[in-house]
Amino acid sequence: MEKYKEVIKNVVYGGLLAGFLTIIVFTTQSGFSEYKYRDLLEFFMNIIALIACVFFLKAIYKLLMIWNVLPTIIEKTKSIIQDRKKKKSREELLNLKKLYDAEIITKEEFDKKAKELKKYVL
């Protein structure tokens, strides 16, 4: 329960701000439509809504970390990126070899470029 304390706090703060915002909206809709500072009030309402969203997003982030969802997603994404880089480097290395075999590039050019690509392939 201790690890959910921050989640609960963020949900409560976000809920309180959302509730406060709802009260302001209903108050301004029912009688204060000619309110002198309506534009300023709308600006502050948007700020309050944004802050409430931040609290809710922090709660969601914390839950994803507690449930180990976010680290898993990050690791899988890294793995996918590495696999794609490896595959692309392999293809470039083969193309480079073809250019060398066709004597379009020199041995030095091949070695220089191949050294870079082999970092990802091996």
pLDDT digit string (tens) for 45-98? 888 888 999 889 989 988 888 888 888 888 999 999 999 999 999 999 999 999
Mean pLDDT of the region 13-40: 74
Mean pLDDT, the chain, rounded, equals 85
Mean pLDDT of the region 34-38: 66
The pLDDT score that the predictor gives to residue 32 is 56
What is the DSSP secondary structure assignment for residue 92, as one 8-state letter? H
What is the C-alpha to C-alpha distance for residues 91 and 40, in angstroms, rounded to an integer?
Answer: 59
Q: Of 27, 15, 89, which Cα lies nearest the Cα of 55?
A: 15
Residue 43 has pLDDT above 90, yes or no: no
Domain boundaries, the chain: 2-67, 74-121
